[in-house]
Amino acid sequence: MATAIKPLSTYNGPTQLLIDGQWREAVSGKRFNTLNPATGEIITSVAEADKADVDLAVKAARKAFEEGPWSKMTATDRGRVLSKLADLIMEHRDELAELETMDNGKPISDSRNVDVPLVADCIEYYAGWANKVHGETIPVPGPFLNYTLREPIGVVGQIVAWNFPMLLAAWKLGPALATGNTVVLKPAEQTPLSALRLGELCLEAGIPPGVVNVLPGFGPTAGSALVTHPDVDKIAFTGEYLTGQTIMREAAGTLKRISFELGGKSPNIVFADADLDAAVAGSLMGIFWNQGEVCCAGSRLFLQESVYDQFMDKLVGQAGKMKVGDPMDPSTQIGALISEDHLNKVLRYIDIGKAEGAKLRTGGDQPTKRGYFVNPTIFDGVNDSMKIAREEIFGPVLSVIRFKDMDEVVPRANNTFYGLAAAVWTRDVGKAHAMARKLKAGTVWVNTYNVISSLSPFGGYKMSGFGRELGVHALESYTQVKSVWVSLPN
């Protein structure tokens, strides 16, 4: 650790459940602790929702959808409310950034300069869509007028992951609210605080009671109750694929609409004709940004053999200079992993990599025993069959793999049941476009990595999920189409 971690000020934000515009304790009276990953210390305790609380929140959301002012509000007015929410998010930028870093462990520079601005941008983007979602007229044969209505689905359960707590919530809240749905949001139990504060800002912005309900809790209780509730019309989930499989099984009884953004083992492919310095920088950011706790992280780095050694020397040298430490220090590049359990999981994968015969070039250890930190880790000599090349580690661990040419690397890059993202580094524009078509991934970056915009869709192929977040395509996940036929006189 380059700098000592300073204790944070006492947390004074909301810790209760937000149901129907009111802050309340769980019906059971239970609470659970949320920890600061940089120290392992308790920040505060929050109310623990379970089935009874989910039922209350769903009833409030249903009433707000069927009877409340949200369903009667014009689309333009809904957009104005969302725009106000975006403004409030930016007004509270520093507070929200500190809250996110305190509860998640990510560097404050990322929280302040990336996460919070992207949250506000996402909400503002969908504010603009609120009055632009409409149907169409269809020139059907016969004496009929046929037109479609694009309507909200209803009550939406949204379950988000802990790696980008507030941003993932915004990705789901924005299109859901813009299209007139009501929401029950379950943040990850590891990171409930920013979602609760966001719920508070929703009320301040003028979103009516019952439209946004926030229920901290655990997956087997609160999450399962939300998925199986007969009056929830849709589930949107971000997390690991095993949980996604459980949700699909549990949702089958009510045939809910589902959209998933799940994990990844994304290939990052560097050809010999690439700008190697840019590719080194992009590869470091692709795996070590947010401590590698990124579903689209470039965790499999494919290097063309003619530049392999040169590239590796640069990569390892720069990785060793990255600053790991106090997430509240603006100069920190790699913060703390989310929890002790996750730290131990990442360390187990590092041990597996060593046992499998991969060569540890840098990192693989903890810079301190206080908090949940791992130094940036790079494995050399990795082959496609190793666990560290096939399983999602979700930490700052990079597997580097040699390849000969394009024909060889494409099937190897696609040889995974994931398909969230991929990247290609080359100066050959034809090769870049050819690779973009051949790679089985929902996002393909060319000569860059981890570029995200509210305007552009994001989602996966295969076991990385289905449905799309962001852009106009996300609106499809939160609306349904009604066809209206009107008989016309001859």
3 pLDDT exceeds 60? no
Q: In which region does residue 367 sit, left (phi positive, over 0), alpha (psi from -120 to 50) or beta (all else)? A: alpha
Which residue, among 37, 41, 372, 24, has the nearest Cα to 216 in the 3D structure? Answer: 24
In percent, the amount of the chain with pLDDT more than 90 equals 97
Crossing angle of helices 193-205 and 93-104, in 10° steps, is: 160
Q: What is the pLDDT of residues 118-150, one digit of tens each?
A: 999 999 999 999 999 999 999 999 999 999 999
β-strand partners of 35: 42
Q: Exposure of 356 by Cβ count < 10 A (0-12 exposed, 13-18 middle, 19+ buried)?
A: middle
6 pLDDT exceeds 90? no
In this prediction, residues 65-91 reach a mean pLDDT of 96
pLDDT band at 10 (very low <50, low <70, confident <90, very high): confident
The yes-or-no answer on residue 296 being catalytic is no
Which residue, among 397, 425, 401, 384, has the nearest Cα to 319 in the 3D structure? Answer: 397
Q: What is the pLDDT of residue 490?
A: 79
Cβ count near 313 (within 10 Å): 12
Q: How far apart are CA 35 and CA 372, in angstroms?
A: 11
Q: What is the pLDDT of residue 71?
A: 83
In percent, the amount of the chain with pLDDT more than 70 equals 98
5 pLDDT exceeds 60? no
Residue with tokens 């700098």: 3
7 pLDDT exceeds 80? no
Q: How far apart are CA 180 and CA 208, in angstroms?
A: 12
Q: What is the pLDDT of residue 55?
A: 98
Amino acid found at 297: A
The yes-or-no answer on residue 295 being catalytic is yes
Q: What is the pLDDT of residue 9?
A: 54
Q: What is the pLDDT of residues 294-306, one digit of tens each?
A: 999 999 999 999 9
Q: What is the pLDDT of residues 451-460, one digit of tens each?
A: 999 999 999 9
Whole-number CA gyration radius for the chain: 23
Q: What is the pLDDT of residue 484?
A: 98
The H or E element containing residue 388 is helix 387-390
The first and second tokens of residue 356, run together, are 């499998």
Q: Find how far residue 233's CA is from the centre of its chain.
A: 22
Q: How far apart are CA 219 and CA 237, in angstroms?
A: 11
56 pLDDT exceeds 60? yes
pLDDT band at 68 (very low <50, low <70, confident <90, very high): confident
pLDDT band at 189 (very low <50, low <70, confident <90, very high): very high
> How many Cα atoms occupy the beta-carbon half-sphere of 101 within 13 Å?
29
In this prediction, residues 190-198 reach a mean pLDDT of 98
4 pLDDT exceeds 70? no
Is residue 154 a contact partner of residue 128, using CB atoms and an 8 Å limit? no
Residue with tokens 């790699």: 334
Q: What is the pLDDT of residue 448?
A: 98
Q: What is the pLDDT of residues 408-433, one digit of tens each?
A: 999 999 999 999 999 999 999 999 99
Active-site hit among 48, 124, 189, 261: 261
Q: What is the pLDDT of residue 1?
A: 36
Is residue 268 a contact partner of residue 283, using CB atoms and an 8 Å limit? yes
Q: What is the pLDDT of residue 2?
A: 39
Active-site hit among 100, 122, 202, 295: 295
Q: How far apart are CA 219 and CA 405, in angstroms?
A: 44
